[in-house]
A and B are shown apart, each in its own frame.
Chain A
Amino acid sequence: MSALRVVHYLNQFFGRIGAEEAGDHPFTVKEGPVGPGAGLQKELGDGGTVVATLICGDNRAATDLDAFGAEVEKALREHKADVLVAGPGFNAGRYGLACGEACARAAAMGIPAVTALNTENPGLDLYRKKTYILPTTPTAVGMNETLGRLARFAVRIGRHEEIGSPAVEGFYGKGVHHTRILERPAAERALDMLLARMTGATFQTELALPPVDRVAPAAPIADVTKARLAIVTTGGIVPKGNPDRLKQSNSTEWREYSIEGIDGLEAGKYESIHSGYDASAANSNPNYVVPLDALRELEKAHAFGALYPRYIVTIGVGTAVVEARKMGREIAAALKTQGVDGVILTAT
């Protein structure tokens, strides 16, 4: 089998142009391998030849990904690429985006592509559905080992070999799960897996759970007696009758309702539409979930500066993490523009 024509993408730093000061370096193509490309070539062996190296400054690429992508496409065509390898991009944010975009463009042209990014790299979630991404270390300490995996993977996709599941093949996968009817009942699969574990045999989990996101708390408010506070709840308290027809679960929306001039939420005028808890206590006294009564007392006692005149509500049950994250960002941004210093978050 003849050697594959491999094109390699690097940023300005690994492409030996310069460090941060060269971040605006324009898209450049060099013949043959550059920098880590030498290691890549060594790992490819007879399987492939690094025919060209594409180099672009991180700022240049990340600020105009469309233009960058167009340059990548042109270079891939000119060099008749069989396969594109990008990076590894480690945990470098802008570099990760460029690696992802370059690979996505290649894949869209029908040219197999692979990159390697650290799990924290924002490029991972943006591009995992469009290209193969292998895991790697946060920094270049794992360069040699990663180049080995990239080279082996590049040869396999370059030869259009069958690629198995992400768990087996060691790439991130699209992270998309489909329900299928398999050969054996789940109970049988589970007991075989348990027996394998108990007897020290190898086993393969059907579901790998990435580490749960941990959010670092914000710095404390310096002087809470001057702070403007807002109430944000996932407890599903809405004006009686649910005027905006919010959904009782799997929420994708949040709303603001005025609390201006009122000292507490009156039973009968507000209700819980949350489908995940017994709403009878909340309906008998909506302040249990939106503690407006207590906060008004504290406000009058000058325990804090002032209460934001609206409360924010969504329904926190069955909500997709991606939707929760989006709503969280929207709410935080909206409150920030209103000069809110702190938030009382109530869950249920």
Chain B
Amino acid sequence: MTAKTLELRTFDVDRVAFGDRAALDGRTLTIDRDEVATLAASDPAFTGVDVILVKPHESVRIPQITDVVEPRTKSGGTGGVFPGLLSPVEPVGTGRTDRLRGVAVVTAGAVPWLGAKGLFVPHDSVLDMDGPGADLHPYADLHLVVLRFHFADGVDHEGYERALLLAGEKVARALAIVARDAEPTAVETRALSAPASPLPRVVYAYQVQSQGVFLRSRLYGRILDELQPSLLHPNELADGALTSGGLGGHGAKMHTWMHQNNALVERLMAGHGSRWDFAGIVLHRGHFYIYEDKQRVALRLAESATLLGATGVVFTLGGAGNNVTEVMLAIQECERRGIKTVLITWEHAGPDGSDYPLPFAVPEAVAIVSTGNLDEPLSLPAMARVAGDAAIRVRPEVGGMPFPIDAGIELERRTFYAGAANPLGFGRSGSVET
């Protein structure tokens, strides 16, 4: 059996501009605005789209983000990027993949609420490219191609969701295709070959959130609302087998970009064969309504880790709330089997930071990395411009209230701020106790 091997070609981009044809010249990416707009807004769910370029650390506030996608395409091997969505369901993670580093496509816009309330609305968020907010998400160093959509009437939320998902992925793939004949900045071969000497074996327990049309994840195009723990090769992530979805988002949302570039997976691959033996990923979902379902997830996770010969398991959270229970029960089961665990989590420590930080805990959870308190208020200065509406919608329980964002803003909690939870450990945020 040969190990699954992927040649990942990176093309660095440090300038993005509109021009009359799509091209990558050196590190300058030229985008044909009309071509991108036509490709993005071809679905009848849209009446149009604004294509807005944002520079790294530019004083810009981006509201109402649904997804962020890194431009990638396959230039060799079986399958295509975003299998099950843009490409057939075929094996991915082998052959050759091209990626544009330093640029990302953002899908955004005020998704109609259609009378929805509570959790089940497209939650509005903001993201700043400059100021203190720029430290809280992984996108401040990137050029962003923001697609701000305008939505047609007579379409339901499922229609909007699918249209946004495919639009972001299509544009991302189209941008990457122009790199095909260019000279890559870096070429990396990725495989999980068995290391020469015995090293501690690490499994990554990767939790995703999938709870309907507003909070959704997909694997090879399949919606993960009923996902049971499932093995995944890191190279499958590289080709977009795991995608974000859902309309709008909150501070804990994991965008497709985060799956493509997962901070833990990148480091696990970098240390594979020298510091540890990366045994693979177990993808799973939380938020099951029944306790026995949570126990089933925990058992399957621990059993998978055991079969993979894990010495240790690192856990991250998909979403906020009772999904912590599945992870905690899995930590308990792993530790009982002698498998060491570490959890990356944000805290719900209340506005003043003194509340019990998580909704559920087990005594076996003794090694935790905190990414900070999501309930802590956040003051953000005015940005020079807003790449979208001058107000977002908050308080869906009372039918929505406008919250102006074109001046300095005081966020009551960080849940409105895209990426603030730092769910996959990209950022340097942490928690300091006094």
Contact = CB atoms under 8 A, between A and B. Distances in A.
B367 A193 contact: yes
A185 interface: yes
A188 B267 contact: yes
Given A279-B120, A322-B350, A186 B428 contact: yes
B366 interface: yes
Given A207-B347, A207-B431, A187 B263 contact: yes
A320 B347 CA distance: 11
A323 B356 CA distance: 11
A322 B352 CA distance: 11
Given A186-B344, A187-B263, A198-B340, A177 B361 contact: no
Nearest to A210: B356
Contacts of A129: 354
A205 B349 contact: no
B430 A186 contact: yes
B432 A189 contact: no
Q: Of residues A179, A274, A280, which shows the largest number of chain B Cβ atoms within 10 Å of its Cβ?
A: A179
A208 B348 CA distance: 14
Contacts of A284: none
Contacts of B360: 212
A180 to B, nearest CB: 5
Contact of A275 (B396, B426, B428): B396
Interface stretch (A41-49, A166-174, A254-262, A302-310): A166-174
A198 B311 contact: yes
Contacts of B422: 186
A277 B348 CA distance: 18
Q: Of residues B347, B358, B426, B433, which shows the largest number of chain A Cβ atoms within 10 Å of its Cβ?
A: B433
Given A179-B373, A179-B376, A248-B396, A195 B264 contact: no
A274 to B, nearest CB: 6
A190 interface: yes
Given A187-B267, A194-B342, A195-B276, A275 B370 contact: no
A317 B395 CA distance: 14
B425 A248 contact: no
Q: Of residues B120, B352, B367, which shows the largest number of chain A Cβ atoms within 10 Å of its Cβ?
A: B367
How many interface residues does chain B have, given as a range?
Answer: 35 or more
A176 interface: yes
Contacts of B427: 181, 185-186
Interface residues of A, number: 61
B433 A181 contact: no
Nearest to B355: A320
A183 B430 CA distance: 9
Q: Of residues A184, A246, A276, which shows the largest number of chain B Cβ atoms within 10 Å of its Cβ?
A: A276
Contacts of B395: 247-248
A207 B422 CA distance: 16
Given A183-B428, A279-B117, A317 B347 contact: no
A194 B353 contact: no
A268 to B, nearest CB: 14
A211 interface: yes
A46 B395 CA distance: 62
B368 A207 contact: yes
B303 interface: no
Given A167-B433, A187-B264, A207-B347, A180 B372 contact: yes
B397 to A, nearest CB: 3
B313 to A, nearest CB: 8
A61 B413 CA distance: 40
A191 B268 contact: yes
A329 B203 CA distance: 44
B120 A321 contact: no
Interface of B: 117-120, 135, 200, 202, 211-212, 263-264, 266-268, 271, 275-276, 311-312, 314, 320-321, 340-345, 347-350, 352-358, 360-361, 363, 365-373, 375-376, 395-398, 413-414, 422, 424-434
Given A187-B344, A322-B355, 17 more contacts: A174-B434, A178-B376, A179-B373, A179-B414, A180-B372, A186-B263, A186-B427, A186-B429, A187-B424, A187-B425, A190-B343, A191-B314, A195-B275, A206-B430, A210-B356, A211-B363, A245-B398
14 contacts: A178-B433, A180-B432, A186-B344, A186-B427, A189-B369, A194-B202, A197-B341, A198-B200, A203-B367, A209-B368, A236-B118, A276-B321, A317-B119, A320-B375
Interface of A: 129, 165-167, 173-191, 193-195, 197-199, 203, 205-212, 236, 242, 245-248, 250, 271-280, 317-318, 320-323
